[in-house]
Amino acid sequence: MLQLHGEGISPGMALGTFWYCPSQEDLLHLYAQRPSQDPQKEFLRFQEACTQAGKDLNTLYERVAQELGEENAQLFEVHRMMLEDTDYLQAIKEAVLQNLTAESAVCAAFRQFSLLFSSMEDPYMQQRAADVKDISLRLLELLSGEKTALPSGDSPFILAAEELTPSQTARLDPAKIAGILTRKGSPLSHGALFARTMGIPAVSGLGEDVGPRQNGTKAFLNGETGEVLLSLSPEQETSLKVCLSRQRHLKNSEKSQASSSQSQIASPIALYANLGSLADLPSVLQAGAQGIGLFRSEFLFLEKPFPPTEEEQFQAYRSVAEAMNGKPVVIRTLDAGGDKPLSYLKSPPESNPALGMRGIRFGFLHEPLLKKQLRALYRASAFGNLSILFPMISNLWEVRKIRELACQVQDELRQEGFPLGTSVKLGIMVETPAAALLSHELAKLSDFFSIGTNDLMQYTLAVDRQDAALEPYRDPHSPAVLELIRITAENAHKNGIPVSICGALASHTSFLPYFLQAKIDALSVPAGDLPLLRQAISALQ
């Protein structure tokens, strides 16, 4: 047995079969220089992967052209042409003939061509290095597909990875994943937050000790203490199973005690749940949330390699609005960019993505995408109590522009005969210091505020939320952040609009007295945190 200690980033304990999912970068290392016995067979495998990649790229081209316009789809045409590039194909063929596997031949061609392009002076040609990487990774994933996918079987898995990216997390099936282990990562990274919202226990910061060599063995993790046990013996597994079922029993009775004690008190602060995907809905309903305070709509855009249609979005938003049966549902428009890139919408490389085209800036840059989402949201508003929230606001003009777009979309939909909700509120995330300091003006343009403490802390303290090494500087008690929260709440109330907190700070029960004093109207947290929050509130009364 191997005992490790990392940082607990999503609470709960889990036991399951360990499986390391290689990242794309891992793949390039993993499959370099593997000898083959049968060049002809390898070349055939490569040709089949090429045909499949061509078909996938055509589908992507069509979906992206339809949803985002021809201009954005061009990239996939460039990749498809790369698949026909005689020099690239010849390099792979030669490597296969020199007795490398198809995967290793692709890695060799990738190295050769990316070096060639990146050493050129012309910036346009330098950019082609990124295309070679994309197409080589596409081929590599197709060739090694079976090896990177989770193995079949009912056994719950402990998924291990270099880092949990938002797109990987969006594609997880929570029914199959008992827990997550990562080599790198911080508690405020989007991957970690998605895991929390899905209720999947997770531990990060385990370094190179987790890797493919443990595949298939049994593993245990505790997302609160950060304790991890790998390569368990059958006896250790059995005793941990017993321990886990006792814990679950205890937790369930604590939860029901908490909810019955809570049902007798009127909470001075509304308790909402965060939603990461539709799969979280049952736990939100079971936890008795008073509403959904933050539905991160990103998962719809990250779970597939192409954008969702308006109709797909409408169905998803409608089902959440209907399931909540008249309770408030706050849906945030796509908060992409930064650490949440969309694979099908390549933006020019940014030297500092956290300060780049993310949040509402990404929405304005891809206005047709934002408008399509607004159409889906307004259509769904006829089926419940729906509000729309806009991410990463830092200027007044941004809110004015949002309001204009919202009016345009409503007019269009009315003309097309769609029924719309009568009082859809438009709110903004206060997650930049600029928004907090301008909150007296922003409150006049917004129907509600939602304070995103994860980004507010990042931007106020100048501490990258992704970087685990900066943990000592990431201070939730920072008076600077608390002061910005106080200013925002005061300005919201002066202007008669409600203010909630939807960042991870909302789950810290030690801040409750402060939130109550600042008259925060609602807290929105992962559903699993609601019982504890309720207990803490009733203890204060």
Provide the binding-site residues for Mg ion, judged by CB under 5 A: 431, 452, 455
- Using the contact rule CB under 6 A, the part of the chain among 59-67, 249-257, 365-373, 449-457 near ligand PEP is 449-457
Residue 193 touches ligand PEP, criterion: CB under 6 A: yes
Nearest approach, Cβ of residue 458 and Mg ion (Å):
8
Contact 182, 121 (CB under 8 A): no
Q: How far is the CB of 408 from Mg ion (least distance, A)?
A: 26
> What positions carry a catalytic annotation?
190, 502
Compute CA distances 100 → 30, 311, 488, whole Å. 13, 46, 61
Q: How far is the CB of 387 from Mg ion (least distance, A)?
A: 17
| Residues of span 486-505 touching ligand PEP by CB under 6 A | 502-503
Q: Say how far apart CA 18 and CA 157 lie, in whole Å.
A: 6
Residue 296, binding choice from ligand PEP, Mg ion, none, Cβ under 5 to 8 Å by partner class: ligand PEP
Residue from 128, 133, 183, 296 that binds ligand PEP (CB under 6 A)? 296
Torsion of Cα atoms, 255 then 258 then 261 then 265, to 10°: -120
Residue (194 or 314) nearer to ligand PEP, CB = 194
User: H helices within 268-389, ranges in order?
Assistant: 281-286, 298-302, 310-323, 360-365, 367-380
**Toward ligand PEP, which CB reaches closer, 18 or 295?**
295
Torsion of CA 197, 202, 206, 207, to 10 degrees: -50
Rule CB under 6 A: is residue 446 a binding residue for ligand PEP? no
| Cβ atoms 406, 446 nearer than 8 A | no
Q: Which of 452, 498, 528, 531 binds ligand PEP (CB under 6 A)?
A: 452
Q: Does 262 participate in binding ligand PEP (rule CB under 6 A)?
A: no
289: closest CA among 506, 452, 13? 506
Q: What single-letter DSSP state applies at residue 171?
A: T
Site map 341..380 versus ligand PEP, x via CB under 6 A:
----------------------------------------
332, β-bridge pairs:
296, 389
Strand partners, 3: 229
Between CA 111 and CA 28 the distance in angstroms is 9
CB of 454 to ligand PEP, least distance (A): 3
Answer for which of 67, 131, 134, 335 binds ligand PEP (CB under 6 A) is 335
Is position 529 an interface residue for ligand PEP (rule: CB under 6 A)?
Answer: no
Closest CB 201 distance from ligand PEP, rounded Å: 19
Least CB distance from residue 72 to Mg ion, whole Å?
24
Q: Which does 453 bind (CB under 5 to 8 A by kind): ligand PEP, Mg ion, none?
A: ligand PEP
Q: Tell me: does residue 520 bind ligand PEP (CB under 6 A).
A: no
User: Least distance from C-beta 471 to ligand PEP, angstroms?
Assistant: 17
Contact 258, 531 (CB under 8 A): yes
By CB under 6 A, what part of segment 207-236 binds ligand PEP? none
Which CB sits closer to ligand PEP, 88 or 295?
A: 295
Q: Which sign does the torsion angle of CA 196, 178, 164, 342 carry? A: negative
Owner of token pair 């989007």: 190
- The reply to whether 280 sits near ligand PEP by the rule CB under 6 A is no
Quickly count: other Cβ atoms within 10 Å of residue 477's Cβ: 11
For the chain, the straight-line distance linking the first and the last C-alpha, in angstroms and rounded, comes to: 47
Q: Closer CB to ligand PEP, residue 135 or residue 451?
A: 451
Q: How far apart are CA 265 and CA 280, in angstroms?
A: 26
- The number of residues that bind ligand PEP (CB under 6 A) is 11
Q: 107 or 331: whose CB is closer to ligand PEP?
A: 331
Closest CB to Mg ion among residues 12, 187: 187
Identify the burial level of 209 via C-beta atoms within 10 angstroms of its C-beta, where 0-12 means exposed, 13-18 middle and 19 or more buried.
middle
CB of residue 186 vs ligand PEP: minimum separation in angstroms?
12
Measured from the CB atom, the residue of 80 and 332 that comes closer to ligand PEP is: 332
Q: Which of 144, 197, 453, 507 binds ligand PEP (CB under 6 A)?
A: 453
For ligand PEP, the closer of residues 101 and 466 by Cβ is: 466
**CA separation for the pair 192, 203 (Å, rounded):** 9
- How many residues can be counted in the chain? 541
Q: Could you give the count of Cα atoms lying within 13 Å of 487 in the half-sphere of its Cβ?
A: 19
* DSSP-derived pairing of the beta strands 499-501 and 448-451: parallel
Give the whole-angstrom CA distance, residue 374 versus residue 24. 33
Q: Quick one: which segment of 28-36, 163-171, 310-318, 450-458 binds ligand PEP (CB under 6 A)?
A: 450-458
What type of residue is 528?
G
Q: What residue ranges bind ligand PEP (CB under 6 A)? A: 193, 294, 296, 335, 431, 452-455, 502-503
